[in-house]
Protein backbone atom coordinates (compact mmCIF):
# COMPACT_ATOMS: atom_id res chain seq x y z
CA UNK A 1 0.00 0.00 0.00
CA UNK A 2 2.85 2.35 0.85
CA UNK A 3 4.43 1.62 -2.52
CA UNK A 4 1.23 2.65 -4.31
CA UNK A 5 1.02 5.88 -2.34
CA UNK A 6 4.66 6.64 -3.09
CA UNK A 7 4.07 6.09 -6.81
CA UNK A 8 0.95 8.23 -6.71
CA UNK A 9 2.94 11.05 -5.11
CA UNK A 10 5.63 10.70 -7.78
CA UNK A 11 3.01 10.93 -10.54
CA UNK A 12 1.49 13.97 -8.86
CA UNK A 13 4.88 15.66 -8.72
CA UNK A 14 5.53 14.87 -12.39
CA UNK A 15 2.14 16.20 -13.41
CA UNK A 16 2.84 19.58 -11.84
CA UNK A 17 5.34 20.27 -14.64
CA UNK A 18 2.65 19.87 -17.36
CA UNK A 19 1.41 23.20 -18.64
CA UNK A 20 -2.25 24.14 -19.02
CA UNK A 21 -1.60 24.84 -22.71
CA UNK A 22 -0.45 21.24 -23.26
CA UNK A 23 -3.54 19.92 -21.50
CA UNK A 24 -5.82 22.13 -23.62
CA UNK A 25 -4.05 21.03 -26.80
CA UNK A 26 -4.51 17.35 -25.88
CA UNK A 27 -8.17 18.02 -25.09
CA UNK A 28 -8.72 19.64 -28.49
CA UNK A 29 -7.05 16.69 -30.25
CA UNK A 30 -9.27 14.24 -28.35
CA UNK A 31 -12.39 16.21 -29.34
CA UNK A 32 -11.30 16.19 -33.00
CA UNK A 33 -10.71 12.44 -32.84
CA UNK A 34 -14.12 11.89 -31.24
CA UNK A 35 -15.85 14.03 -33.86
CA UNK A 36 -14.12 12.10 -36.65
CA UNK A 37 -15.38 8.84 -35.18
CA UNK A 38 -18.91 10.22 -35.04
CA UNK A 39 -18.61 11.36 -38.66
CA UNK A 40 -17.62 7.84 -39.76
CA UNK A 41 -20.53 6.33 -37.84
CA UNK A 42 -22.92 8.84 -39.44
CA UNK A 43 -21.66 7.97 -42.93
CA UNK A 44 -22.12 4.29 -42.16
CA UNK A 45 -25.74 4.70 -41.11
CA UNK A 46 -26.55 7.04 -44.01
CA UNK A 47 -25.28 4.47 -46.51
CA UNK A 48 -27.65 1.82 -45.16
CA UNK A 49 -24.80 -0.48 -44.22
CA UNK A 50 -23.04 -0.22 -47.59
CA UNK A 51 -20.11 1.70 -46.13
CA UNK A 52 -18.80 -1.35 -44.29
CA UNK A 53 -20.61 -4.49 -45.35
CA UNK A 54 -21.01 -7.41 -43.04
CA UNK A 55 -19.70 -10.71 -44.36
CA UNK A 56 -22.36 -13.07 -45.64
CA UNK A 57 -23.35 -15.79 -43.23
CA UNK A 58 -23.40 -19.33 -44.48
CA UNK A 59 -25.34 -22.13 -42.88
CA UNK A 60 -23.00 -24.74 -44.31
CA UNK A 61 -20.11 -26.00 -42.25
CA UNK A 62 -16.79 -25.67 -44.05
CA UNK A 63 -15.05 -28.93 -44.90
CA UNK A 64 -11.57 -29.20 -43.45
CA UNK A 65 -8.88 -31.22 -45.17
CA UNK A 66 -6.34 -31.82 -42.41
CA UNK A 67 -3.75 -33.26 -44.77
CA UNK A 68 -3.87 -30.11 -46.90
CA UNK A 69 -3.67 -27.89 -43.80
CA UNK A 70 -0.62 -29.84 -42.59
CA UNK A 71 1.00 -29.48 -46.01
CA UNK A 72 0.29 -25.76 -46.07
CA UNK A 73 1.80 -25.36 -42.61
CA UNK A 74 4.95 -27.24 -43.61
CA UNK A 75 5.33 -25.14 -46.74
CA UNK A 76 4.75 -21.86 -44.90
CA UNK A 77 7.31 -22.68 -42.21
CA UNK A 78 9.76 -24.38 -44.54
CA UNK A 79 12.68 -21.99 -44.04
CA UNK A 80 11.79 -20.61 -40.63
CA UNK A 81 13.94 -22.96 -38.56
CA UNK A 82 17.21 -23.71 -40.29
CA UNK A 83 19.43 -26.68 -39.56
CA UNK A 84 21.83 -24.59 -37.43
CA UNK A 85 18.98 -23.60 -35.16
CA UNK A 86 17.87 -27.21 -34.83
CA UNK A 87 21.43 -28.20 -33.90
CA UNK A 88 21.47 -25.51 -31.20
CA UNK A 89 18.15 -26.78 -29.83
CA UNK A 90 19.48 -30.35 -29.68
CA UNK A 91 22.70 -29.21 -27.99
CA UNK A 92 20.79 -27.16 -25.42
CA UNK A 93 18.30 -29.96 -24.83
CA UNK A 94 21.03 -32.58 -24.30
CA UNK A 95 22.98 -30.30 -21.94
CA UNK A 96 19.94 -29.63 -19.77
CA UNK A 97 19.40 -33.33 -19.05
CA UNK A 98 20.92 -34.64 -15.78
For the chain, helix (H) and strand (E) counts, in that order, are 4, 0
- pTM of this prediction? 0.33
1-15 average pLDDT score:
87
68-95 average pLDDT score:
78
Quote the Cα angle for 74-78-81, to 5°: 115
Q: What is the pLDDT of residue 15?
A: 84
Which among 30, 27, 7, 31 has a CA at the least distance from the CA of 18? 27
Top-confidence residue, 49 or 66: 66
pLDDT-derived band at 6 (thresholds 50, 70, 90) equals: very high
59-88 average pLDDT score:
78
Which among 34, 52, 36, 33 has a CA at the least distance from the CA of 44? 52
Amino acid sequence: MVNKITRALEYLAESSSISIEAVEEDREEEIESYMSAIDIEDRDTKCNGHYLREPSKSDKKAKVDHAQLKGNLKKASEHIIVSGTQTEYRRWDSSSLP
